[in-house]
Amino acid sequence: MAYDNFTILRSTAVPMPIENVDTDQIIPARFLKATERKGFGDNLFRDWRYNSDNTPKTDFVLNNPIYSGKILVAGKNFGSGSSREHAAWAIYDYGFRCVVSSFFADIFKNNSLNIGILPVQISAEFLDKIFKAIEADPKTEIEVNLPEQSITILATGEKESFDINGYKKHNLMNGFDDIDYLQAMKEEIKAFAANSPY
């Protein structure tokens, strides 16, 4: 599935200072029964966001109108657990384009990059600065600059750089994906596979 390319994102952010947010929280298994990729945003963080009678939980950040934006800022080890890409789809479908944390689980990171969400891994210190800035002013704007590989708290100018491999950066900036790349090298793959003992 093609996605919108990503260059510079300037947005307010939604803070979620919780550690070890696993993909069962992002989207519980009972919402994985669809055979198409649509509507997952409605069930993003379902059991943190809604009571069992489907009324919103007022103390959960996504139900707090003070916070909004295209950037989700979360505690360390975000996206652990199940490999369900539905977690990344739900985040994208809700409207986020970037998740910021001090640590990401591997599979979630891959899934995000594959569908056009940028996972930005920063130091624990800078993450704390962002949380504090949003706490002080929920309208705090954050700039995520992919070409420069930097993230900036615009009000104060505080800035940190982040890592991403050159291949994935190029893909995200141009909206390309791995499937196109692999299709282009199919003959090479067939020749390689011909020598496989399996």
Partner 1 sequence: MSTSPKTLFAKVWDAHVVKSIPDGPDVLLIDRHFIHEVTSPVAFLGLETRGLTVLFPDKTFATADHNTPTINQHLPVADPLSANQLKALETNTAKYGISHWGLGNPKNGIVHVVGPENGITLPGMTIVCGDSHTSTHGAFGAIAFGIGTSEVEMVLSSQCIMQPRPKTMRISVNGKLNKGVLPKDVVLYIISQMTAAGATGYFVEFAGEVFEQMSMEGRMTVCNMSIEMGARGGMIAPDATTFNYIKGREKAPKGEAWDKALAYWKTLHTEAGASFDKEYVFDAADIEPMITFGTNPGMGIGISKKIPVSHETGSGKSSYEKSLNYMGFHEAEPMLGKPVDYVFIGSCTNGRIEDFRAFASIVKGRKKADNVTAWIVPGSHIVEQQIKEEGILDILTEAGFSLRQPGCSACLAMNDDKIPAGKYAVSTSNRNFEGRQGPGARTMLASPLVAAAAAVTGVVTDPRELI
- List residues binding partner 1 (CB under 8 A): 1, 17-20, 22, 24-25, 28-30, 32-37, 47, 52, 75-77, 80-86, 88, 103-107, 110-111, 114-115, 165-168, 177-179, 181-183, 185-186, 188-190, 192-193, 196-198
Residue 11: phi and psi, rounded to 5, are -160, 160
Least distance (Å) between residue 188 CB and partner 1: 6
- Please, which residue, 111 or 140, has the CB nearer to partner 1? 111
Least distance (Å) between residue 154 CB and partner 1: 27
- Please, which residue, 141 or 148, has the CB nearer to partner 1? 148
- Please, which residue, 156 or 175, has the CB nearer to partner 1? 175
Maximum C-alpha span of the chain: 61
- Please, which residue, 104 or 152, has the CB nearer to partner 1? 104
Instruction: Name, in order, each residue with C-beta under 8 angstroms of 165's C-beta and a sequence gap of 6 or more.
Output: none
Q: How far apart, in Å, are the Cα atoms of 36 and each of 14, 31, 39, 89, 178?
A: 27, 12, 9, 11, 20
Please state, as a whole number, how many other Cβ atoms lie within 10 Å of the Cβ of residue 11.
17
CB 72 within 8 A of CB 96: yes
